[in-house]
């Protein structure tokens, strides 16, 4: 580094070895800020003094902040932070970091490529699954490819949906984090904001903390997605559709690992899981509004999140802003008190009910499709129910990032309701309830399936009654009810 002109050097109370570090931190504004410091007499003139009025020792300041006191070591720390921030972008989540961590976590226990034999087994399983489902549901096959994925391929195909789900709440928390940490800028450091003064320093601190917050969320989402990739069987294990296109997929290695601990033949396990995946695919493909309904409920809940800033600011005082791991632990440890508004409660109720209905329908349809063919259907069905109820990394990340869990707590009640509908009116009556979100059973209906079924073979009867009521009002006109339509002069008679 070339030596700056004498009149541009820091004042006498700034050791020369710190000049390079200051220039590294200040970047393009370094010359102007250092010149101002020199003209004002160094750190003391900028207000950076100790209790006795003497200028602060930069080494002591670093040590007090928990940073290396050696300029070279501190420079390495700051360099690492700068490199991380340089890759963070402007979004609320560092998706490059999330992608890298997800890939690393997904292959932590090994991730061999899918063999040709495994692809044939999966394709055969899906072919059989579609034939069995044709007898159990009126919804046709989803179409699209039937694929076998490795764990890292699962990450690549699903990370886009994780982005849709995580960004609304990440944006809210990032803003609150930036505001809280910016208030912790030490008195006197506003001079380092250059021409912008205090506002420049706070803006710079806020920008840096947004980037750090984005990195933290990237670490959390990436770790969760990568861990989930080692456990899932397909694309719909968490109840939400994690891919947007048509098609079905299984992860052969995860299926084989699951089957190893069971007293059930591996090919029977594979067939059962293929039926569940294909049933999900039929539902999400042919019930066009369902995917948007579920993801929209998550986003509506996330957008309404409010942050308890007092709690956050208290926690920030103990966080080392140069340590992303410490920030991640703070986020995971419940630093943010997430308030729940009435709108959020309504969104959460819609989501929980819809997830239970999806899981219950798939549970019931899959059991109906496999029972005539697979001897261990009942045992596998119960095992999947318990697996979903226990939760996993997906539930953990949503509990942290969105404040909700994706466990379909009432899936057994929903399955019983779907079974009752099918017994009363056949599979067509059961599947007709997916015709529109307003036709779906409600949480109250899960409490009393008998009353729901009694209202008609399908909820369409409610709509029919509402339409009839509208026509009766229209026909009544403004003079009150009549026995029938009144013919206007010249108009065709109602009897003609």
Dump the DSSP string for 89-130.
-SSSS-HHHHHHHHHHHHTTT--PPPPHHHHHHHHHHHHHHH
Looking at residue 377, its pLDDT comes to 96
CA proximity to 357, closest of 433, 425, 456, 292: 433
Is residue 97 within 8 Å of 342, Cβ to Cβ? no
- Tokens representing 474 are 């229209």
Neighbours of 410 (CB within 10 A): 20
CA proximity to 424, closest of 389, 455, 385: 455
Helix/strand number for the chain, H first, E second: 20, 4
Each of the 496 residues of the chain gets a pLDDT tens digit; together they read: 444 444 444 444 445 545 555 555 555 655 665 565 555 554 444 444 444 555 444 455 444 444 445 555 545 545 555 555 555 556 778 888 889 989 999 998 889 999 999 999 999 999 999 999 999 999 999 999 999 999 999 999 999 888 887 787 777 666 666 666 555 554 444 444 444 444 554 455 556 666 766 777 788 788 888 988 999 999 988 888 888 889 999 999 999 999 998 889 999 999 999 999 999 999 999 999 999 888 888 877 777 766 666 666 666 566 665 565 666 565 555 544 455 678 777 878 888 888 899 999 999 999 999 999 999 999 999 999 888 777 666 666 666 655 666 666 788 899 999 999 999 889 999 999 999 888 889 989 998 888 888 875 444 445 555 555 555 545 444 444 444 444 433 444 433 3
- Tokens representing 388 are 């979903």
CA proximity to 156, closest of 93, 109, 107: 107
Looking at residue 428, its pLDDT comes to 92
Is residue 114 within 8 Å of 147, Cβ to Cβ? no
Is residue 290 within 8 Å of 434, Cβ to Cβ? yes
CA proximity to 269, closest of 238, 230, 261, 136: 261
CA-CA distance, 344 to 363, in Å (whole number)? Answer: 28
Instruction: Give the largest Cα separation in the chain, rounded.
Output: 106
CA-CA distance, 249 to 227, in Å (whole number)? Answer: 18
CA-CA distance, 148 to 124, in Å (whole number)? Answer: 11
Looking at residue 271, its pLDDT comes to 98
CA proximity to 15, closest of 50, 49, 55: 55
Query: What backbone torsions phi and psi does residue 55 show, to the nearest 5 degrees?
Result: -60, 145
Is residue 164 within 8 Å of 299, Cβ to Cβ? yes
3 state SS of 133: helix
CA-CA distance, 15 to 245, in Å (whole number)? Answer: 61
Q: Note if the pTM is more than 0.85.
A: no
Domain boundaries of the chain, sorted by first residue: 6-86, 95-401, 426-476
Half-sphere exposure of 18 (CA within 13 A, CB side): 19
Beta bridge partners of 250: 148
CA-CA distance, 166 to 98, in Å (whole number)? Answer: 11
Is residue 212 within 8 Å of 226, Cβ to Cβ? no
Helix 71-86, helix 197-229: angle, nearest 10: 70
CA-CA distance, 56 to 60, in Å (whole number)? Answer: 8
382 CB-contact burial (10 Å; exposed 0-12 / middle 13-18 / buried 19+): exposed
Cα–Cα separations (whole angstroms), residue 22 to 15, 72, 100, 384: 11, 11, 32, 58
Looking at residue 348, its pLDDT comes to 80
Beta bridge partners of 49: 55
Is residue 153 within 8 Å of 102, Cβ to Cβ? no
DSSP code at position 7: G
- Tokens representing 363 are 């549970």
Looking at residue 129, its pLDDT comes to 98
Is residue 441 within 8 Å of 357, Cβ to Cβ? yes
Place of tokens 């109370």: 13
Looking at residue 409, its pLDDT comes to 73
Is residue 332 within 8 Å of 400, Cβ to Cβ? yes
Residue 188 backbone class (left: φ over 0; alpha: ψ -120 to 50; beta: rest): left
Cα–Cα separations (whole angstroms), residue 73 to 11, 182, 223, 327: 23, 25, 29, 21
């Amino acid at each position: 580094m070339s030596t700056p002109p004498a009149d541009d050097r820091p004042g006498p109370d700034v050791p020369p070895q710190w000049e390079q570090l200051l220039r590294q931190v200040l970047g393009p504004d370094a010359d102007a800020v250092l010149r101002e410091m020199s003209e004002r007499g160094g750190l003391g003139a900028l207000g950076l003094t100790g209790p006795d009025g003497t200028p602060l020792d930069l080494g002591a300041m670093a040590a007090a902040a928990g940073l290396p006191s050696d300029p070279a070591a501190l420079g390495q720390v700051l360099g690492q932070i700068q490199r991380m921030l340089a890759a963070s972008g402007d979004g609320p989540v560092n998706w490059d970091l999330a992608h890298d961590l997800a890939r690393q976590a997904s292959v932590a226990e090994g991730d061999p490529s899918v063999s040709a034999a495994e692809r044939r087994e999966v394709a055969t399983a899906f072919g059989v699954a579609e034939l069995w489902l044709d007898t159990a549901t009126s919804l046709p096959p989803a179409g699209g490819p039937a694929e076998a994925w490795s764990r890292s391929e699962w990450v690549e195909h699903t990370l886009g949906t994780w982005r849709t789900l995580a960004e609304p709440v990440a944006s809210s928390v990032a803003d609150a984090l930036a505001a809280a940490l910016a208030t912790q800028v030490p008195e006197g450091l506003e001079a380092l904001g250059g021409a912008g003064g205090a506002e420049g320093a706070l803006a710079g601190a806020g920008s840096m903390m947004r980037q750090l917050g984005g990195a933290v969320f990237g670490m959390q989402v990436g770790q969760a997605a990568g861990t989930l990739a080692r456990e899932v069987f397909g694309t719909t294990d968490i109840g939400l559709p994690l891919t947007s296109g048509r098609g079905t997929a299984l992860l052969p290695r995860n299926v084989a690992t699951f089957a190893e601990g069971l007293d059930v033949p591996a090919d029977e396990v594979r067939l059962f899981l293929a039926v569940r995946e294909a049933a999900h695919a039929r539902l999400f493909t042919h019930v066009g509004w369902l995917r948007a309904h579920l993801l929209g409920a998550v986003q509506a809940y996330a957008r309404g999140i409010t942050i308890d800033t007092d709690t956050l600011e208290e926690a920030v005082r103990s966080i080392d802003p140069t340590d992303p791991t410490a920030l991640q632990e703070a986020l995971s440890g419940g630093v943010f008190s997430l308030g729940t508004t009435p709108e959020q409660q309504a969104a959460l109720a819609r989501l929980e009910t819809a997830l239970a209905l999806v899981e219950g329908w798939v549970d019931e349809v899959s059991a109906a499709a496999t029972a005539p063919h697979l001897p261990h259907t009942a045992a596998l069905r119960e095992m999947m129910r318990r697996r979903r109820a226990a939760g996993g990394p997906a539930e953990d990340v949503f509990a942290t990032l969105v404040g909700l869990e994706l466990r379909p707590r009432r899936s057994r009640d929903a399955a019983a309701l779907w079974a009752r509908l099918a017994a009363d009116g056949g599979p067509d009556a059961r599947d007709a309830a997916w015709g529109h979100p307003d036709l779906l059973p409600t949480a109250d209906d899960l409490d009393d399936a008998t009353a729901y079924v009694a209202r008609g073979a399908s909820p369409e009867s409610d709509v029919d009654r509402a339409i009839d009521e509208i026509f009766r009002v229209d026909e009544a006109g403004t003079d009150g009810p009549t026995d029938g339509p009144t013919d206007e002069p010249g108009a065709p008679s109602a009897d003609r």
